[in-house]
A and B are shown apart, each in its own frame.
Chain A
């Protein structure tokens, strides 16, 4: 990890990317996932470690930066900062914006650093277990990852699963790996290798958000002026330290779960902060525990989400789905072998994330006011620039105009889906996991000579399938029990 400090090019890159990440996080509608998808094409000619460090840095810094506008203009820059508005904005309206931001900065940094320490410990341990995985285990794990889509907050269980199934179907486009039979190509041989992930992601996240934002052009934001960010006082630290520690654990755990991410973590972190607080009445009116709980959890989720992404190839969140694509594009195969064959690269990436956490703390404390002004860029000037970046970025991957059309088509599909209450993250996760599900199921059938039920006789596979069942039905079972009790 320390080798990061001996690579001046990497340090400069991390600094620039942290600034970019904070700018992206501050702009409502952009967010870590869209930002990473837009920047991915720019990393194509970088060395793998620099490219992944860029994407991971965007993730970490954009996740934090959403709190700046959440507190100052009651508009979270990223969905992970939505819970921060509940108490951050009321506190700012009372003239304590500097204090609110100070609590957010410190809590985010502690959450981020905590989760990276856990990442460094847990990832190699999980990698050792993952060596034992064979096709049945990977198949069951991919199903578990898909089942977790049911509980992503936006969309609702059934709609998220429909999105996930659609994503898995998209992965079947192209030549079938074993037999070479062409599926759903309709004579277009550019689709032989299947749909490229990057243009689909650019469409689903950036282009669809462009269309969503087109409807918000005339909305005015209530801006709070702020003198300076203030570090929490001793009394504030006394009030929030337990909340921060608790949210660090919550956020890291939620981040490790496939397909969950910073948004879910921040909501649960906030809810738990309220539950354990002695001053519940203050929540919603400017409780610093609320800000601390949400912000520590959302940044703790960033490190946690990298665990399944790098060790198992299962994205821990929407943004890590983009990072996973980045790993594959740069020839780094996610999985246990990454921790034996490329261990230096892995720890340099962890080091980059740690450095980014410290950098955004400094930026948050000394430059939050400046970054907040960026959020006032008129939408009618910002989003056409995003359009240009997105189209050229989609083209740059394979120098193919087909990828540009794919990005535009999925932009419209993503917009229509979101318009009708469907989230787009499940489609992205389904696309990534689709090949893993089908290929490993096929290989399992070959292993067991067609007896698919033998998958259930493998202990780890059975465990993942039980977790998948719980992931799908836990909320319905919990509702049923509570109805019976009442």
Chain B
């Protein structure tokens, strides 16, 4: 007897694109009647050809996907938007049926595609806990037994008898997650629900989900948060355009995902889209070395110059540019604001083009690939441009040190000043 608890066999899901039929019965009957009499479809605009469910007008959200999940496995499912992750979860949660193939499951599945499903705004927190618990598949007795635990986890003891419509969004989400986190299924399917709530609570949820996997329960987890997914899951599946393209340990899959061709960014110099009504905007961003040459990789021992060219129709102290540096796992290492160092002012700038240089000190970033995000804004008024991943560059190590134990470690490797104090006596 094997330990396989989920077996997915040649699973496919087809969506027909566009509207199915005309949407109203009377028109469908019209079309059908015209067809019977051999007339043209009366609902078509002039010059249009018949779109009635033609072959080829479909989208395979999932195509021939097979995999197995063993008991106690924490499986992370990653992929870009539209890769089929959510469709897979929907099929596993039985919200929709597959087009072909099948899934065999051992044990009770609970799925969490959204928190707070079925909450009624007029009911109190306590009442909603019972209702939501029942919707997720708990019996009243189970909810009753766990009520205190749920309320404590959500940290809403004082408000449990207040209608949830008076809750802050944070409280609402906390209660909703708390109910879901106290389900006792053998298999838990979780969509990106952790993207909500404050950071503290997110950590708590991750902790709770970690507990779940340690208790030998099986978890399927979809997220764009590579951090969460790597810390929670042991193995991973990578989806691309409805196909399963990679499976294995989570670290390997995450790395492949981040490096996959579809995910590659430009290097060197990038032009930004110029917003229509921005009084102040960035036109290009480029990575240079100290000599001002545009480069795509740079030595760890060199300073990195990020050159930003833009245009300003107003010169205001509020003009601001910020740069995000992220590492390969998509963690934000730091954000730096131009406004920390200087302000745009009439003495220095005239209206029109400007060039900004932002220098990242040498030796700060260890060898690896980095992404640059860029933001332009009028501080305190509005954001103008925000490009999460504008371009990327490599940092390499010039020469390997003889002894690897001496090499610096960590996400950042700044050169710190060390000194030895003379003994006083």
Binding between chains A and B? no
